[in-house]
Amino acid sequence: MIELKTPTEIEAMRPAGRLVRDVLAALTEAADVGVNLLELDALAHRMIDAAGGTSCYIDYHPSFGASPFGKVLCTSVNDAVLHGLPHDYRLRDGDLLSVDFAVSVGGWVCDAAKSFVVGTPDPQDLRIIDTTERALAAGIAQARGGNKMGDISAAIAAVARGEGYSINTQFGGHGVGREMHGDPHVSNDGRAGRGIPLRPGLVIAIEPWFMAGTDEILTDPDGWTLRSVDGSRGAHSEHTVAITDGDPLILTA
């Protein structure tokens, strides 16, 4: 069921959005050659505790997960593109790291993700990161009252296809509120002018993610980490956005 938030409830989501923003900034600063993914997860955990927040991930066990996630952060490296389960891995020069983080503060959730290169960047990695960021911006620009969900999806897809990337539609954006994942689904591909109307009070996570050489994924033995089937690298960008009577409100900016 799609739930619309009041202006007061959207304001109450801002602390969660600020914490998500601050954690992603801290992780970007901390991630360096030789840093262990488990150290990044521990840093995020400390910041959650210090802010009085609650992890959305530790006990998360949807139908597609093999078991409760058990960590507070998703860390996807190189050809791992989504839901990367933090494990004993030290970052290497040139790794493409995608970090996805959601947290509840005061009973309200916000969710965001970003990708960046650790150490020496490969131009192709920078290109796909830039594409996800531009696709996210294009999707957010369409997140206005009176538009349709398909306007967001079509804008994202146009950026991806303009750079020659194909699009996986198994996973995409989603409603956000008291829970991390809710209705409606926000596909990264669609037709403009189609889908549900965007009404003020709707809060959604918009999250384009693309892979360099394929649109097909496989699941690691850990039951969570999703990888490209051809070993090509991927990137992921996400913000939590509220539809208002005016401009989109990016709660995790």
CA distance 176 to 2: 10
Answer yes or no: is 59 within a domain: yes
Please report, in range form, the residues annotated as the binding site for a divalent metal cation: 100, 111, 174, 207, 238
CA distance 249 to 144: 10
Answer yes or no: is 192 within a domain: yes
| Token pair in block for residue 157 | 């897809």
CA distance 60 to 77: 21
Q: How far is CA 245 from CA 6, 146, 184, 185, in A?
A: 12, 9, 19, 21
pLDDT for res 63: 85
CA distance 98 to 114: 6
Answer yes or no: is 246 within a domain: yes
Task: Provide the pairing of β-strand 249-250 with 239-242.
Answer: antiparallel
Answer yes or no: is 69 within a domain: yes
Please report, in range form, the residues annotated as the binding site for substrate: 83, 181
pLDDT for res 156: 98
CA distance 34 to 51: 28
In single-letter form, the type of residue at position 29 comes to E
Domain of 169 in residue numbering reads as 7-250
Number of domains in the chain: 1
| Token pair in block for residue 59 | 């006990």
Answer yes or no: is 1 within a domain: no
Q: Sign of dihedral through CA atoms 216, 128, 87, 46?
A: negative
Q: Which residues of the chain have pLDDT under 70?
A: none
pLDDT for res 64: 83
CA distance 207 to 139: 9
Tell the burial category of 1 from Cβ atoms under 10 Å away from its Cβ (0-12, 13-18, 19+): exposed
For residue 240, list its beta bridge partners: 205
Q: What is the CATH number of the domain that holds 239?
A: 3.90.230.10
CA distance 242 to 144: 9
pLDDT for res 65: 85
Q: What is the dihedral of CA 25, 109, 37, 137, to 10 degrees?
A: -50
In single-letter form, the type of residue at position 103 comes to V
For residue 173, list its beta bridge partners: 186
185 near 204, Cβ under 8 Å?
Answer: no
Answer yes or no: is 171 within a domain: yes
Could you please report the per-residue DSSP string of 86-112? P-S-B--TT-EEEEEEEEEETTEEEEE
pLDDT for res 115: 98
Answer yes or no: is 78 within a domain: yes
What tens digit of pLDDT does each residue of 176-219 get?
999 999 999 999 999 999 999 999 999 999 999 999 999 999 99
Q: What is the dihedral of CA 81, 82, 84, 90, to 10 degrees?
A: 30
Please report, in range form, the residues annotated as the binding site: 83, 100, 111, 174, 181, 207, 238
Answer yes or no: is 2 within a domain: no
pLDDT for res 62: 87
